[in-house]
Structure 1
């Protein structure tokens, strides 16, 4: 059964702020207008995540370095798929092999070959995020680049936030019009000023995890991952006719 998201609609009616940004004026053709701003926000529980991690290997021989990397990444793929992650939700994002080098006394000193294979894993069930990270690390992943929360049904929440923003602008304009003894007319212009689509990223420190991988299984601590709320918000500028 599809899990339903609990969305809390938050309509921010900041009276003082809106009044300072409102303007009533008369145009050259004697048409009176009121300019206002409106904000609408929807607070949503994140229900998925995207993890980016890498397998990095180094060695004196380019062939052996690439082979070791391929073997470890194959194990990472297998361990992740074994948890129920679909093959189409695991994709290669970046792959490079290069040789380290330094300049010393005007000469180039070549060092180890470094192979980096970075993959992106989309997790539809947040309760599995910690298990996926643990399995990947145990299989050979040694760099976690980022962890990003997401919302699967984003479009419906974006629509709600936009609707709230426009309604907020209309309510503010109507309040100004009636307070000044006028009536609110039709909307003349409507522009979207800013938006926040509600995605938030946790940037993981780019550090080696090899020490953790080398620990015994009994000392390996499971990675705790907790979900959270994110806000989708929109601000619009509107001009209404007043009569």
Structure 2
């Protein structure tokens, strides 16, 4: 657990007013507490890409579809269920003849083939399956694994814990400050909580898993994901 606590103190001392009978605003003590907790990731997302080429768009597409169906069957054999994957980006691009070193003035490129790229996005909480899925995917014809990241499926599960931690520290710090300043806390005037920051998945860099790595065994260590809360309390003091 990582904890960072930031404290700001605003102490407004009462000053005698020259106008008799006018009420003065109460003296205030303001404390802010920022707490960051780390929780283990319980979800992983990754993309599997298949790229095929053919001398016609139809041939490249048929080959790609066949490889994708083989991939899906392979992943299902390893235990992946339909709700844990969906198709992603898809593209067909023509491949042109390269320019010669010294092309003639009337040189024109022509289409010599077509590239088809299709991807499958996996999102699962069964982290133990991922190394098996990647190994199986490489054997099924996947060219690349990308966008691999860890996250927390429902960060709200831990939200109350982080808020309670931040509030407890703010109360504790306020009491220490009041005791040190020889003042008394009367009551809480205001409590505010910052909007929670978006929990960004933690990407895993450097994962380029090509078919030539089909005999490799991948080990993934589950990282911790940071959650935070910032609480501000305003007290009346005397």
The bucket for the TM-score relative to the shorter chain is 0.7 to 0.9
Look up the match of 1:120.
121
Look up the match of 1:22.
9
Look up the match of 2:19.
none
CA shift, 1:61, in A, is 0.7
CA shift, 1:193, in A, is 6.8
Q: Which of the residues 74, 79, 97 maps onto 1:79?
A: 74
Q: Does the residue aligned with 1:30 lie in a helix, a strand or coil?
A: coil
Across the aligned residues of Structure 1 and Structure 2, the Cα RMSD in angstroms comes to 2.8
CA shift, 1:188, in A, is 1.7
* Aligned CA distance change for structure 1 residues 26 and 196 (closer, same or farther; 3 Å): farther
* Residue correspondence of structure 1 range 1-243 to structure 2 within 5 A: 10=1, 12=3, 14=5, 17-18=6-7, 21-25=8-12, 29-101=24-96, 107-184=108-185, 185-192=187-194, 195=197, 197=199, 199-205=201-207, 207=208, 209-213=210-214, 220-243=215-238
* Deviation digits for residues 125-161 of structure 1 (CA, Å, limit 9, x no counterpart): 2221100111111111111112111224422212211
Q: Does the residue aligned with 1:24 lie in a helix, a strand or coil?
A: coil
Q: Does the residue aligned with 2:131 lie in a helix, a strand or coil?
A: helix
* Aligned CA distance change for structure 1 residues 81 and 209 (closer, same or farther; 3 Å): same
The two structures have a TM-score, normalised by structure 1, of 0.79
* Aligned CA distance change for structure 1 residues 13 and 210 (closer, same or farther; 3 Å): closer
Unmatched segments (≥5 aa) in structure 1: 1-9, 214-219
* Aligned CA distance change for structure 1 residues 168 and 197 (closer, same or farther; 3 Å): farther
CA shift, 1:37, in A, is 1.8
Q: Which has the larger radius of gyration?
A: 2
Q: Does the residue aligned with 1:241 lie in a helix, a strand or coil?
A: strand
CA shift, 1:196, in A, is 6.4
Unmatched segments (≥5 aa) in structure 2: 15-22, 100-104
> Which protein is richer in strand relative to its size?
1
CA shift, 1:115, in A, is 1.1
